[in-house]
């Protein structure tokens, strides 16, 4: 933490003090010195964040960062740390360096929608089909802007089309919301299922009603009126100087562009975000009347009465009976948080241009909350009766269910959780004991969870903009990875043995056939896996779906051929039982892998 400079000495006269202080003030303005350095007393929050972020930069955890703290309707602290461009020697600056703020961008979509509501041009509870073209793809269920802005429209998650590596490949919003529409897998209004697409769709409704491109609408009706001149939705940044992205090893790296841009493409500076926080907490009618502004934060949906639930894009939090509001934003390399504490008249924004572990960020924000509201009081133990058996596997509702992107469910850590135990002995999540704090309501390693049954399905509701739905045991990460790994290993061994036998032994028809089967199966598996990796890394898996599915179908054909041939060898005792074991094991793994491909929608 930078120590406050001492501008005065005991032996200076009052006149000299004023002259020196004025000169230093002027020089600091030119040098971009933070506001807190020249006389405004820092709060514990500003001091804590200043010290914490400085240490993170000094210890090379991150390359650069920006922090803003507002308090009592003033900017108390706004500062850049480290580098925005190390190669060019450009420091991160609170006033001139924009950082990518990720999903914090979604909050501006909600503001735009409420502006149109205020003008009488949009009804939050009307089906959005009233505002879309007649040829817009049909939804399984009617949905409203209210449901889109509370992540309750029921969409599954999908990465295809969400981003591009080349700006020239970015698509207009009118095209991307049609082309990359995910399936509705939940009844709208029932389940919280975080959706990037849903926010982009809400922005498209704004675009349709206003007659302007969404980024132009927000620029004219939000950013410019609030004086946020260094903030933009545009993918080319509209002249704003944006920090480079850095990997955890300190090397500069690439950052993709958000194709469904309203969900997460905003770049902004610490000073601009400070202005935004001041506006969010004032009672003015600027750009949106105070009553409408409060709709951003009022409880708009909750799956459980004990949870504060969702505002419009904002998460409502509770700490020692005090309610505050938060939104996190994460891109591939930029990690940001914005939190508003209205009762304490304080707002905090921070952003890093390097990956930061979520646990670390949560710890930082928890400490800020403790400083402002006090250390969290511990809930008393619950001694009442539990009525629901929670045991089983649960997958986050922010998952894919109906396309081959479902393959990602077992690749992403913690997407599936396992709850073991029973009503009499209690329950554990991934081996860690759950603490009961109410009926079917638990404190867990991932936060507080409430068991709920709706429409014949079991859910775990959370305090955040996501929830979990019970799934089958064979969809657990362990089972999925075991099948994938089993097939990979047996395919490699079988292909190697077949080639070895062909080279070293009699080149009989059987060896030729086994070699063709095993090598072709392994080659197709390798190609298919490569296509999946390319599809994920380039955000275009659905574009590659025909080729991935074709590989999958051929693998099934070759696997069935192998099983049939194995049965023929066993039946006719052509090969000794011991020598046939590797082939049999490979056939078993092939059958399991084929079933796995069906389960993840590859075939």
| Tokens coding 515 | 């070699």
Q: What is the pLDDT of residues 211-220, one digit of tens each?
A: 999 999 999 9
What is the rounded CA–CA span in Å between residue 180 and residue 171?
A: 11
State whether the Cα torsion 274-276-277-279 is positive or negative: positive
- Give the CA angle between residues 203, 309, 313 to the nearest 5°: 15
What is the rounded CA–CA span in Å between residue 296 and residue 280?
A: 9
Comparing C-alpha atoms, which of 315, 288, 314, 325 is closest to residue 107? 314
pLDDT for residue 463? 87
Comparing C-alpha atoms, which of 381, 394, 383 is closest to residue 435? 381
Q: How many CB atoms lie within 10 A of CB 595?
A: 12
pLDDT for residue 31? 39
Q: How many CB atoms lie within 10 A of CB 432?
A: 11
In three-state secondary structure terms, 170 is: coil
Q: Which helix (DSSP H) or strand (DSSP E) does residue 272 occupy?
A: helix 270-281
Q: What is the pLDDT of residues 83-136, one digit of tens each?
A: 999 999 999 999 999 999 999 999 999 999 999 999 999 999 999 999 999 999
| Tokens coding 524 | 């197709």
| Tokens coding 396 | 């986050």
pLDDT for residue 513? 79
Q: Parallel, antiparallel, or unpaired for β 252-253 and 315-319?
A: unpaired
Instruction: Outline where 32-160 has alpha helix (H).
Output: 44-58, 106-118, 145-149
pLDDT for residue 504? 73
What is the rounded CA–CA span in Å between residue 512 and residue 448?
A: 59
- Give the CA angle between residues 21, 24, 25 to the nearest 5°: 85
Tell me how far CA of residue 503 lies from CA of 499, 523, 565, in angstroms: 6, 19, 21
Pair 68, 274: CB distance under 8 Å: yes
- Beta partners for 77? 69
What is the rounded CA–CA span in Å between residue 227 and residue 169?
A: 31
* Angle between helices 477-504 and 509-537 in degrees, nearest 10: 140
**Residues listed for the chain:** 603
pLDDT for residue 1? 34
pLDDT for residue 579? 60
Pair 127, 140: CB distance under 8 Å: no
| Tokens coding 83 | 């580098």
The list of the chain residues with pLDDT below 50 reads 1-41
Q: Which helix (DSSP H) or strand (DSSP E) does residue 492 occupy?
A: helix 477-504
- Give the CA angle between residues 447, 448, 452 to the nearest 5°: 130
What is the rounded CA–CA span in Å between residue 539 and residue 542?
A: 9
What is the rounded CA–CA span in Å between residue 377 and residue 507?
A: 76
* CA-only gyration radius of the chain, Å: 28
Reported as half-sphere exposure (CB side, CA atoms, 13 A), residue 426 has a value of 15
In three-state secondary structure terms, 416 is: strand
| Tokens coding 529 | 């896996």
pLDDT for residue 11? 36
Instruction: Outline where 296-413 has alpha helix (H).
Output: 358-373
Q: What topology is assigned to 100-373 in CATH?
A: Beta-lactamase (3.40.710)
Reported as half-sphere exposure (CB side, CA atoms, 13 A), residue 98 has a value of 23
Instruction: Outline where 7-81 has alpha helix (H).
Output: 14-31, 44-58
pLDDT for residue 5? 33
Reported as half-sphere exposure (CB side, CA atoms, 13 A), residue 90 has a value of 13
pLDDT for residue 109? 98
In three-state secondary structure terms, 91 is: strand
pLDDT for residue 508? 65
Q: Which helix (DSSP H) or strand (DSSP E) does residue 560 occupy?
A: helix 545-572
* The dihedral formed by the CA atoms of 178, 184, 189 and 195, expressed in degrees to the nearest 10: -60
């Amino acid at each position: 933490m930078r120590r406050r400079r001492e501008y005065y000495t005991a032996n200076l006269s009052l006149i000299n003090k004023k002259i020196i202080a004025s000169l230093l003030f002027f020089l600091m303005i030119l040098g971009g010195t933070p506001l807190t350095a020249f006389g405004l007393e820092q709060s514990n929050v500003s001091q804590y964040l200043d010290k914490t972020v400085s240490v993170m930069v000094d210890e090379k955890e991150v390359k650069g960062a920006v922090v803003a703290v507002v308090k009592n309707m003033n900017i108390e602290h706004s500062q850049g740390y480290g580098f925005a461009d190390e190669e060019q020697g450009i420091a991160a600056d609170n006033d001139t360096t924009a950082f990518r703020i990720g999903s914090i961008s979604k909050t501006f979509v909600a503001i735009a929608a409420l502006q149109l509501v205020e003008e009488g041009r949009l009804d939050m509870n009307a089906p959005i089909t009233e505002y879309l073209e007649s040829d817009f793809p049909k939804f399984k269920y009617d949905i409203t802007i209210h449901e889109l802005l509370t992540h309750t429209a029921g969409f599954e998650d999908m990465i295809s089309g969400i981003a591009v590596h080349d700006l020239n490949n970015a698509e207009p919003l009118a095209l991307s919301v049609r082309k990359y529409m995910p399936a509705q897998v939940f009844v709208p209004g029932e389940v919280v299922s975080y959706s990037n697409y849903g926010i982009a769709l809400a922005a498209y409704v704004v675009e349709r009603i206003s007659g302007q491109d969404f980024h132009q609408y927000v620029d004219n009706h939000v950013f410019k009126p609030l004086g946020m001149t260094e903030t933009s939705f545009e993918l080319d940044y509209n002249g704003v100087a944006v920090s480079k992205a850095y990997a955890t090893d300190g090397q500069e790296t690439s950052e993709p562009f958000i194709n469904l841009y309203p969900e997460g493409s905003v770049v902004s500076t610490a000073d601009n975000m400070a202005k935004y926080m001041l506006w969010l907490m004032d009672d003015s009618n600027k750009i949106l009347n105070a009553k409408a502004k409060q709709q951003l934060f009022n409880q708009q949906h909750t799956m459980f009465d004990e949870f504060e639930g969702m505002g419009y894009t904002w998460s409502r939090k509770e700490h020692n009976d005090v309610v505050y509001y938060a939104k996190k934003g994460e891109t591939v390399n930029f990690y940001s948080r914005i939190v508003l504490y209205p009762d304490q008249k304080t707002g905090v924004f921070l952003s890093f241009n390097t990956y930061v572990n979520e646990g670390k960020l949560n710890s930082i924000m928890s400490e800020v909350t403790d400083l402002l509201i006090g250390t969290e009081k511990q809930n008393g133990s619950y001694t009442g009766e539990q009525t629901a058996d929670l045991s089983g596997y649960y997958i986050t509702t922010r998952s894919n269910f109906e396309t081959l992107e479902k393959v990602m469910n077992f690749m992403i850590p913690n997407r599936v959780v396992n709850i073991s135990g029973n009503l009499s002995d209690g329950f554990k999540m991934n081996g860690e004991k759950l603490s009961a704090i109410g009926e079917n309501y638990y404190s867990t390693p991932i936060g507080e969870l409430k068991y709920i049954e709706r429409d014949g399905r079991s859910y775990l509701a959370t305090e955040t903009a996501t929830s979990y739905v019970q799934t089958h045991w064979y969809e657990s990460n362990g089972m999925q990875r075991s099948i994938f790994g089993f097939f990979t290993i047996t395919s490699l061994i079988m292909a190697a043995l077949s080639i070895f036998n062909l080279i070293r032994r009699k080149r009989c028809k059987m060896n030729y056939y086994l070699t063709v089967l095993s090598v072709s199966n392994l080659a197709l598996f390798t190609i298919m896996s490569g296509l999946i990796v390319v599809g994920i890394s380039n955000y275009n898996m659905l574009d590659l779906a025909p080729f991935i599915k074709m590989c999958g179908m051929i693998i099934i054909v070759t696997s069935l051929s192998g099983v049939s041939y194995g049965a023929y060898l066993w039946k006719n005792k052509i090969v000794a039982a011991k020598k046939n074991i590797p082939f049999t094991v490979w056939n078993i793994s092939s059958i399991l892998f084929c079933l796995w491909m069906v389960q993840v929608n590859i075939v």
